[in-house]
Every structure is written in C-alpha cells, then in structure tokens.
Chain A
Amino acid sequence: MTATVPRATRAPSSRAAGERTVRVRVRRSASRAREEFVVRASDPITVLDLLRQIQTGHDASLAFRYSCRVAMCGTCGVRVDGRSRLACRAVLEPDVDEIEVAPLAGLPVVRDLIVDTRPFWAEWARVKPWFVPAGGEPVQVEVGSAAEELVESALGCISCGACYSSCEIAGHGSDYIGPAALNRALALIADPRDGAAEERLEIVGGRGGVDRCHYIGACTSACPVGLDPARSIVELRRLRLAGRA
C-alpha cells in the first residue's frame, strides 16, 4: 500500500506519563469534617476520576453523583477549591498536588458530595419552564432574527446547578429564583412560538425575581457550558420594562 503523508507518525500529544500523588481533601457529611486521601494519579485525570478512585480503592462509603462523565448530564457538580464546577470537567493541572472537594453550595447536603437538588428544581419549576404552544403561526423561530439570537443564547443549559451554587443570593433558603431558572425563562419568553410569555414575565418580575440579582456575574463565570445567565437576567429586565411601557 502507499502510505499517505506520514504526519500521523508524530507522537500524539500527551502529558508525561509519570505518576504522582495527589492529596484530596473531601468534605464528609458523617464527620462534618474534611478527610484527606492520598491518591495516585496518572494523567490525564479529572476530579471525577479522583473521586472514583477514592470510592473504589480507599473508602467505599464516599458518596457522589455522576452519570455521563462528558459534561452532558450535569449531575457531577461539586466545588473544587471553592469553585463550583463539574467534576468531570475539572482536569488536574500537572503541577497540582492537592485539592479540596466540597458539595455545591446553597443546597442541603444529603451525604458527602451529594446535595438535595429539590430547591433548585422548585425554582426551575416556578418559572413554568415547559413550552406552551401559542398555536397558529409562527411554528418556528425565524432564522437570523433577533429573537433567534436571544433564544439560542439561553439554550444548552444542563441544569447542573453550578451557577446556583456560585450565586451569593440563590439557595440557602432564599426566595430568589436563581440564574439557571431565569435563564430558562428568558429562552421561553423570547421564543415567538411560546404562548405564556406574559405570565412568565410576571413571575420573573415578582417575588424573588430579577430584581434580586446584584450583577456580580459569578453565575456566568461558573457555567461549565459557556452560557451567560447574567446577560439573560439583564435581558429579562429589559423585556419587563418594555412590556410595561
């Protein structure tokens, strides 16, 4: 056979295969303390990999959640060194030899790194997050329209709760709807196919709504899929004012 350009003979890039040890401090619920595990790491390694190694090799009772391990299910949210992230997306840099993992903030801890997500979903449900067909035309969002840009900007949320956890106002028993649910509300309110925009504008303008936001922008920084809930909240305020005018 005729070998084509042998560019592929170049070694694929990968980090040095050397093993190292990482000290992982995990917030445990039973002891209400941080527990330290020394884990052998070979690159590439994510925080999710570290947790699984602890669970299978050190302490079978460590509780945490995950499903897809490729940032699509949004169930492995934790705080890594204080930052709300997906454990599957948190790749350990080669020079890091200690980290701290804690449950998401703002939500009650069920066990170890597992939080009760019901308050998050209760807020999500409050904005009436399901599509309500307006009936008749249009049956689609016009390509290239301003509405399309707005709707698109708010889609793709995996409801992992990283924004909610990073927000100083959401959670902890507050009545704030929170960035994820407000972002969902915007996607529907901006969608010309949807028939419940007015009702949702009332909701997001009411108790615990957009006025609770202090524009710190932690939600946008925390979003693991690159959404901008802070901008969505600004847009909601604008739409609400436009609606009143």
Chain B
Amino acid sequence: MPDLAYDTLTADVVIVGSGGAGLMSLLHLGRRAPELDVVLVSKGAVGRSGCTRMVQGGYNAVLDERDSLDLHFADTLAGGAYLNDQELAWTLVQDAPGVIRELERECGCLFDRTADNRLHQKPFAGQSFDRTVHRGDLTGIEIMARLRDQALRIGARELEDVRALDLVLDGEGRLAGLTVLDAASGRFALIRARVVVVATGGSATMYRIAAPAREKTGDGLAMCLRAGLELRDMEMLQFHPTGLLAGDSLLTGSVLEEGLRGAGAHLYNRLGERFMERYDPERLERSTRDVVARSSYLEIVGGRGTESGGVLLDISHLGAEEVERRFGGMVERTRLVGADLAREPVEVSPTAHFQMGGAVIDRDCRTSVEGLLVAGEDAGGTHGANRLGGNGVAESTVFGARSGDVAAGLARELPLAEPDPGLVAASLARAVAPLRERGESPSALMAELKDVMWHGCGLVRTREGLEAAAASVDGLLERAGRAAAPGGREWNLGWQQALDVVNQLQVAQTMIVSALEREESRGAHFRDDFPERRDDAWLRYVVVRRDGDGSLEIGTRPVALTRSRPPAAVAGSAA
C-alpha cells in the first residue's frame, strides 16, 4: 500500500507559481500586508522557472503623450478579434504604465532608454504606436531577476521544487487550501490557507513543437478544472510563426523573435517561393502571428516544406554584420544548431507558444470560489482570440500585482476553512498511483499527446480531425491511469512527468471540445470547414466546466461589448 502520509502547513496566502504573476503577487502582498504568512509554491527554481523569464520582446505600456490608453485598448481588441473580455483588456491597458514604473523605480529594472533619457519603446506587430518597453532582447531576465531579488527581501516561505496537486475545499465548497508534492523528498503536504493565488502558466508544451519551459504543463488550469471552475476560450492557443527546428534536440520549438520579420526577414518554401505573397500580399511576413503561422503550416502540410518539415527564414540580405549587431542572441541560437542566421536561411516551423484561454476571472482576479484568485496565463479573457506581442509580460505583472493587493484584503477577512478529508485523500491517491512497478511510460504518453494535438487540434482544424483527436486523448487519459514511474519517491522525474501528462490531457480535452464548439474561424482558431469569421453569430465565448464525474459541460456566452464594438465590415469576412 503506497504511503499517503502528509505534513500539514498553515498559511494566510499561498501563491502557486514563481513566474512574473506569482512574484508580482508576492511583491504586492509584502507591501500591503507584511504581517501575513505567505507561502510560495514553485514547481521549479523560484523566479527561474516558467516563461516570463523567457520574454525576449518586451512590455506594452502607454507612456508617450502621443500614445493613448484608447489606442492600446483598440489594438488589443483588434488583435484579439473582439473575443476579449473588455474589462480585463482595459485593466491591462490601464494598469500597465503604473506597473512598468514600479518595476523600474521600486524594483530597479533597467530598461533601454533613448539618447534623451526617455524609456525606449519599440514597434511590435499589430500596434498602432511604438509602445514596447524592453531591455535589449532579454527583457524577461531583467524583470524576473529583479523580482527574485525583491522576493529575497520579503522573505516569504519558499517551497522550491514543490508542485501543487489539487485545490482543496471544505464540506460546503469553500476554499480550504491545496495539496502539494515535494519532488525532492517525494513527500506530500496539505497547506491550509485563507487565500490561494494560482499563477502557474499555460500548457502549450502539449504540442510536438512548442516554445515554453518544461514546467508549463497546465497544472493550474487542470487544478481549477478539477475544482469545478469555468475555463473560457480554451480553443485559443497561439502559435508563434518562427520556432527553431533542431531535430530531436530540446532546442526545437524555441522562438526566433518576431523582430526579425519586422526588420525585413523573408519566408520561403522549399521551392524558393516567397509564399506570404499568396496569403497576405500586402503585409507579407509582417502579417500577424496567426496568419504567418498558419500560412507556413499550410506550405509544410502542402508538401512545399523542407525535408525536416519547416520553411526557411532568411534575413541574410541585410548583411551579416547588421544581423549580428541587431539580433546577436538569435544568431547565436541558430549557431548552436549548426545554422547561421546572419549568413543563410534557417529552417523554422510554427511553434505552440501561448494559451489565451484560462479560468474565468474578474478584473481583481477573483473566481467563482471565494478566496481563490487566478492571475497570468492561467486566466482567460484578456487577450481574446490572439495575444499581441508585448501584452504577455504586461498581463502577468499587472494581474499578478492585482492578485497580491486583493489577496491582502481577503486574507484578513476570510476564515481558515476545514479541508474535506475525502478530497485530500482522493488527491493524494491519484498522485501516488504512478509509483507502480510496471505500466505505461509517462514520456511515451506525452510524446503521443504532442503528436495528437499537433495534427488534430493545431493550426488548421476540422470537425473530423478534432473528433479523432478527442478519441485519442480519451484513450491516452485512460492509459495514463496505468502510468508507471518506478524508482522511489525522491527526485523521480518519471513520477513528475506522469502527473504532468494527466494535467496536460485534462486540459487538452477542454481545448478540443471548445474547438469543436466554435464553428467559425477567429484569431488563433482556424476551422478549415468553417473558414469565415462570423461576427453575426460568434461574438460569443466558449465556456467549459467539468462535472463531478469528469464529463465536460460546454456552453457559450455573448461577449459583453461594454466599451467597444467591432467594425461592422468584419462580419462575414475572412478570418
């Protein structure tokens, strides 16, 4: 009989995740309510796991008097194809300037400045004003390193290499805390808490070619789903058009930044055709991420891709010196795999990058469960059907900050609820199950899922393909119930992977049913059998919720056009 023993800890607030949203939440909690007992749970190293760290581009904020909140808001809605929750999008736009100043003046982040000492803001795709604040092409490292330093000042209890398993409620359905597993010791713990902030990041790792860090396996989304929360826009998964292809290496899928296309890079198929001329003759390679990614994909599946299943990105016509000067990091990345961006075309493929969908929240990160807050990529609605470059780290930090402020207030009001022992036992029993000697290989299951999602629920979708993917995922989930990770409890990476793949599969189910539901094409979601964007019928968002028996309940709701309506001309036109 496997050991289900667990430690019990008590805290006022637990933050799950130590990326941009999690550490920003901690920073604000530390300021608003330094007396509170806060526990930070991080699946990997604190401040160094997740994807805020990996941000190359930058941070959108309105800082110039010639720019305006209205413009940033309009760009965000146009980018999101009007599927956005307009209150969340407005909150993002409204708070971003204050948060970027806070990062600079209170955390000491150093961003690039112009010769006259103003913050440098660079142009980014889909934006009507140059508003992306950055530090070279390593913006994420500067923000996360400084937030990590602030966390050292605050000195919260940090549980590193500890993964969250399940949210735990009391007998009346009130939040009581969560269960966790320490990957180092293999021990379980129940953390009782008044408030929990979920900020773990999305699940784009479930695609064969994917950009995110290892940890991002939809843990937060799956936890919210199992706790009965509603998820929205789960069909909306962004593919970045230019992911590196490097055979079996983990480097495959890592992003070659958007700025390359902005600077004039061309894309060619195997036949030497500059294929964007066929898909978007006006904007060509400077078209939005969804269009360029889908076009490349169509070339590849149409048999016009390279031998290893890519297209060719070429910026060498700018001259090697110029490319090295402006894109040193990217040149270096290609040289690691034996290519040379400065001198020759490089094979690239669309790569799964960002999850627009997530838990339904209000502008204070509140969910339908009191005391349970969700911030960052785990939340849905801010970006609608497609995220603009530069709005990702802005979302993490803006809503991370809000979640901290709100948590500080809630923790003073809410009682410590009594965890339902049945829920705790069920959570631990599920978690311990893979520690069997023989069964399915977690890494094989994960590899199969990546192929299923790439082909069935990827850049181009059909009813037939989605139904096949749904059947495959159901089969994988059933097999995952027999996953085996022998080798003991301490630092058993196979065990962690077995828990990862269940989360990925449960989230995959919500993505597939949502994609089936949306019988139109919008933003990142393209249905080959419904290629038109239909504002007349589909200014609605898809909501999915899991019942107690594991079946999914699906519905749609009209987008509340509280602040802005889409231009009428869009109705019935191509997506």
A contact set with B: CB distance below 8 Å: 1-10, 12-15, 42-46, 48-49, 52, 55-56, 60-63, 65-70, 72-75, 88-89, 91, 110-112, 114, 117, 121, 124-125, 129-131, 133, 139-144, 151-152, 155-159, 184, 188, 191, 193-194
Contact = CB atoms under 8 A, between A and B. Distances in A.
A91 B152 contact: no
Interface residues of B, number: 77
A74 B215 CA distance: 14
A143 to B, nearest CB: 5
10 tightest A-B contacts by CB? Answer: A131-B108, A8-B268, A6-B272, A9-B272, A63-B491, A130-B149, A44-B337, A61-B487, A130-B153, A69-B250
Contacts of A159: 48, 145, 148
A74 B44 CA distance: 12
B306 interface: yes
B312 A44 contact: no
A152 B45 contact: no
B117 A140 contact: yes
B331 to A, nearest CB: 13
Nearest to B112: A143
Given A68-B213, A130-B152, A12 B44 contact: no
B326 interface: no
A167 B251 CA distance: 29
Contacts of B393: none
A3 B270 CA distance: 12
A69 B251 contact: yes
Interface of B: 44-45, 48-51, 53-54, 104-108, 110, 113-117, 135, 138, 140-142, 145-146, 148-150, 152-153, 184, 213-215, 246-251, 254, 266, 268, 270-274, 277-278, 306, 312, 314, 316-317, 333, 336-340, 344-347, 441, 443, 485-488, 490-494
A10 B250 contact: no
Given A3-B274, A63-B491, A124 B152 contact: yes
A122 to B, nearest CB: 10
A125 B54 CA distance: 23
Contacts of B306: 12
Contacts of B116: 143
Interface of chain A, main secondary structure: loop
A65 to B, nearest CB: 7
A129 B152 contact: yes
B246 A48 contact: no
Nearest to A89: B336
Nearest to A7: B314
A75 B45 CA distance: 7
Contacts of B490: 111
A188 B110 CA distance: 11
Contacts of A73: 44-45, 48-49, 53-54, 213
B184 A110 contact: yes
Of the listed residues A45, A74, A131, A133, the one surrounded by the most CB atoms of chain B closer than 10 A to its CB is: A131
Given A7-B345, A73-B48, A111-B491, A141 B110 contact: yes
Given A42-B247, A55-B493, 11 more contacts: A1-B277, A7-B345, A10-B345, A44-B246, A46-B249, A67-B48, A68-B53, A72-B53, A73-B48, A73-B54, A151-B110
A131 B138 contact: no
Contact of B272 (A3, A56, A139): A3
13 contacts: A14-B347, A44-B246, A44-B247, A46-B250, A49-B250, A60-B487, A67-B48, A68-B51, A69-B251, A69-B254, A143-B113, A143-B114, A191-B110
B336 A74 contact: no
Nearest to A124: B152
B149 A131 contact: yes
A130 B141 contact: no
B251 A8 contact: no
Given A89-B336, A142-B117, A67 B250 contact: no
A191 B214 CA distance: 34
Of the listed residues A56, A70, A139, A159, the one surrounded by the most CB atoms of chain B closer than 10 A to its CB is: A70
Contacts of A66: 214, 250
B278 A1 contact: yes
Contacts of A13: 338-340, 344
Nearest to B247: A42
Contact of B113 (A70, A72, A140): A140
A43 B339 CA distance: 12
Contact of B49 (A75, A124, A140): A75
Contacts of B274: 1, 3-4
Given A44-B337, A44-B338, A67-B215, A72 B141 contact: yes
A6 B266 CA distance: 11
A161 B124 CA distance: 34
Contacts of A184: 149
